[in-house]
Amino acid sequence: MPNAPRPPRRVTIPDVARHAGVGQATAARVLGGYGSSSAATRERVLAAAAELGYSTNAVARSMISGRTHTLGVVVADVENAYFARAVRGVTDVAARAGLQVVLANSDENGPTERAAVQMFIERRVDGLVVAPAAADHEHLDKAVASGVPVVLLDRVVSGAGLDTVVVDNRGAAQAAVARFTDAGHTRIAVVTSASPDENTARLAPGADIWTTTERLTGYRQALRAAGIPRGAELIRHTGYDRALARSAVLELMCAEHRPTALFTTDNVATLGTLDALLDLGARIPDDVSVIGFDDAEWATLVRPRLSVVSQPVQELGRLAADILIRRIEGSTARPRRHTLRTAYVPRESTGPAPARVRRLRAPGE
Amino acid sequence: MPNAPRPPRRVTIPDVARHAGVGQATAARVLGGYGSSSAATRERVLAAAAELGYSTNAVARSMISGRTHTLGVVVADVENAYFARAVRGVTDVAARAGLQVVLANSDENGPTERAAVQMFIERRVDGLVVAPAAADHEHLDKAVASGVPVVLLDRVVSGAGLDTVVVDNRGAAQAAVARFTDAGHTRIAVVTSASPDENTARLAPGADIWTTTERLTGYRQALRAAGIPRGAELIRHTGYDRALARSAVLELMCAEHRPTALFTTDNVATLGTLDALLDLGARIPDDVSVIGFDDAEWATLVRPRLSVVSQPVQELGRLAADILIRRIEGSTARPRRHTLRTAYVPRESTGPAPARVRRLRAPGE
DNA sequence: GAGCCCGTTGGTAACGTTATCAAAATTCAC
DNA sequence: GTGAATTTTGATAACGTTACCAACGGGCTC
């Protein structure tokens, strides 16, 4: 950082005290709103403060109180609607409790996350909400050891022993895919940003690694439960890339034995899938049924409107903040996982398996 | 705020100094990375610090340096994709400069914004990025007077004398609507969240008041420039409400002399407009041409893809942060308005005015 | 009227760092 | 080997608040 000039000296409590003709401890009590003081002096001090334009120095206050009234939040990317909603939930609860929120984006990058957490510890935030990018938790342990409580959001880190606020991704996905099997579908594909290699999944950069992998597992379980053999799974790993998802679906839907139902594990996959279906001129749900994971404003824009699994994202953030605040206030309850309910939102993109599968042709671009 | 226990005492510089067998000033120099020290002592101190698990107390550091390495950001709502992108831009630049970002949502509420700014002043943030909710700037003046530079984002506050980063909303809107007039359209409607009452516009709660009003003005100017009389303006004020926009467009498009082109001043209006058009079975652009303001991921999801005016939102945030950082570093350049370029993104929702206007019928819901 | 209690007051010591400056140790030149 | 220049070192004073405690005074009881 280049040279930054020291900020101008500001009015302090001694200044106000002098101006009001009282001792500084007295002025401090009035301005800090603690201890006792007579109405007369209170008035004098307040008047002097107003006259001089005094404003509390929260840094000095934090210095001695040990509290910064600040929460650190680490998410992958605020620009992602999911995290934006979660952050909003956190800030709402925090603001009500008189806490401010410092934001850091990890971009699903472990080292970036670690650096952010380290910085938060140094800044002495009162607590930390983290949507972890990787499975290691040394940095989080360090935070807790330094007296900074941590609550995990959206993703579980096994063995971390931390409060965690999540959604039942696997169960929700299974239930969604079960709608397909119940409706007679047998060729059901999934389009996902989850990594094909489950071992590296937790380490790889990219979005929503953990949650999408869980949703993929839910898909598998649903097929299994419906007696569909493992060989009949139709999985397309497209990364966190809309165009890739589109071309994968294009290819998938033009194949000999194309699926009659599509499940997407995340919004980017959904967007790419709809791109493909729209370009193919596929009739939804007559040709294909579609269910997406996570609701979005555009889910009701496409016709037919898209059926989705919706998650209470803001609520996730709010709950995380709630739990965190309780910890800051000294709760020593055993950390546990809080699983919030998802909801299947039936709209018009799902129907029974077609009796006859119409052949689709790639658009002549 | 309920009783919060004091955090545990942590390892400090004197602790490290004692453990390393050096004076605390020496330890401080090594750990703080300033002054000079021999390789031997440096090593000893660092070893002692690692052993004890020392971590810098940034609060104490701020106390004396007067810098918090923190930027305050006030936007209407991070959950809004526009602000999420802008915030991302700010945080990116800030992070690179070693600054953290504290986030506050004003919900377009003046008092909330003022409270947030006041809190930021007390916390001694190094600078402030504000997307102002109202036209008054007393609180912003106070910030500047206290030595906290302020940069305005997205909206102009006349008379504030502050650096401001915006887009030419009026010009961009005018240029967009001019596309319609150039293509022979004469019945051109606008759907907007702008308040119908321009006087109260800057005071009323609701989103994007100022910018949408500017865009509305641009619409008017374009019509004027094309020689379309004032009486032929078709303006629908629908507030920041998708359903209201939808019904307004439904009514508009089923009227006797319906428009052949629609301009929307913001994403919510666009969403509602498309809802209506889709439900009406309107053929775009054969029946109606549409241009939306501000690009979104779903603009390329609808078929035909939506032509839009796109704004460099992230760049807006980045530039605001850049300017702010320069101010923090002591720039005394005269505050000015920075207007970023918008781009008209032609897609498939615009075409020539139809020779014969097909009658549209309300869907039998 | 003496003794006591309690609300009020102000001096001073924290909090944990960086800044200042003089003393001590080292290096360098001749 | 000496003196001067330079580096390294540590004691101590900030920064602006809250915490602590002793002192003060007025009103009350007996």
A38 CA, C7 C1': separation in Å?
8
What is the CATH T-level fold of the domain A68-166+313-340, as seen in this structure? Rossmann fold (3.40.50)
Residue nearest to nucleotide C14 (CA to C1'): A64
**What is the reported pLDDT for A156?**
92
Is A290 in contact with A266 (CB distance < 8 Å)?
A: no
Is the minimum CB–CB distance between B200 and chain A shorter than 8 Å? no
Residue B221's SS3 state is helix
Rounded to the nearest angstrom, the gap between the alpha carbon of residue A365 and the centroid of all alpha carbons in its chain is: 37
| Strand D and B32 CB separated by under 7 Å | no
SS3 letters for B20-32?
HCCCHHHHHHHHH
Q: CB neighbours of B195 closer than 8 A, spacing ≥ 6? A: B201, B204, B206, B209, B213, B237
Q: Which nucleotide is nearest to B33 (CA to C1')?
A: C18
In tens digits, chain A (365 residues) has pLDDT values of 445 555 667 899 999 999 999 999 999 999 999 988 999 999 999 999 999 999 999 999 999 999 999 999 999 999 999 999 999 999 999 999 999 999 999 999 999 999 999 999 999 999 999 999 988 999 999 999 999 999 999 999 988 999 999 999 999 999 999 999 999 999 999 999 988 875 554 444 444 558 999 999 999 999 999 999 998 889 999 999 999 999 999 999 999 899 999 999 999 999 999 999 999 999 999 999 999 999 999 999 999 999 999 999 999 999 999 999 999 999 999 999 999 999 999 999 999 999 998 888 877 65
Please, which residues bridge with residue A165 across strands?
Answer: A153, A338
CA dist A161 and A147 (Å) reads: 15
DSSP B233: -
Q: CB neighbours of B363 closer than 8 A, spacing ≥ 6? A: B279, B280, B281
Chain B residues 132-161 within an 8 A CB cutoff of chain A? 145-147
Residue-wise pLDDT tens digits, B153-209? 999 998 889 999 999 999 999 999 999 999 999 999 999 998 877 555 444 444 455
Cβ-nearest to B87 among A7, A78, A81: A78
Q: Which nucleotide is nearest to A23 (CA to C1')?
A: C10
CATH code: domain B68-167+313-342 is 3.40.50.2300
The answer to whether B10 contacts A146, with C-beta atoms less than 8 Å apart, is yes
**A284 to chain B, minimum CA–CA distance in Å?**
14
| Strand D and B58 CB separated by under 7 Å | no
Chain A residues 102-121 within an 8 A CB cutoff of chain B? 102-105, 118-119, 121
- Burial profile B260-269: b = 16 or more Cβ within 10 angstroms, e = fewer: bbbbbbbbbb
CA dist A300 and A196 (Å) reads: 30
What is the CATH T-level fold of the domain B169-311, as seen in this structure? Rossmann fold (3.40.50)
* pTM strictly above 0.75: yes
**A315 to chain B, minimum CA–CA distance in Å?**
13
**Beta strand A100-105 with B100-105: parallel, antiparallel or unpaired?**
antiparallel
CA dist A131 and A76 (Å) reads: 7
| Strand D and A23 CB separated by under 7 Å | no
**What is the reported pLDDT for B210?**
81
B64 CA, D14 C1': separation in Å?
8
Question: Which tokens in the block code for residue A26?
Answer: 């007295």
Residue-wise pLDDT tens digits, B11-52? 999 999 999 999 999 999 999 999 889 999 999 999 999 999
CA dist B311 and B167 (Å) reads: 7
| Strand D and A119 CB separated by under 7 Å | no
Provide, as residue numbers in chain A, all residues whose Cβ is less than 8 Å from the Cβ of B92.
Answer: 105
Portions of chain A given CATH number 3.40.50.2300: 68-166+313-340, 169-311
Portions of chain B given CATH number 1.10.260.40: 13-56
Of 3.40.50.12780, 3.40.47.10, 3.10.310.30, 1.10.260.40, the CATH number of A13-56 is 1.10.260.40
**What is the reported pLDDT for B141?**
96
The answer to whether A101 contacts B97, with C-beta atoms less than 8 Å apart, is no
Q: Which nucleotide is nearest to A54 (CA to C1')?
A: D16
* Cis bond upstream, residue B312 (ω within 30): no
Which long-range contacts (C-beta less than 8 Å, at least 24 apart) are formed by A215-218?
A: A215/A169, A215/A170, A215/A172, A215/A173, A215/A265, A215/A266, A215/A293, A216/A173, A216/A190, A216/A192, A216/A265, A217/A170, A217/A173, A218/A169, A218/A170, A218/A171, A218/A172, A218/A173, A218/A174, A218/A175, A218/A176, A218/A177
Cβ-nearest to A101 among B62, B103, B278: B103
CA dist A195 and A204 (Å) reads: 8
CA dist A233 and A251 (Å) reads: 16
**B302 to chain A, minimum CA–CA distance in Å?**
6
Report the amino acid identity of residue B124.
Answer: R
Portions of chain B given CATH number 3.40.50.2300: 68-167+313-342, 169-311
A36 CA, D29 C1': separation in Å?
25
CA dist B321 and B327 (Å) reads: 10
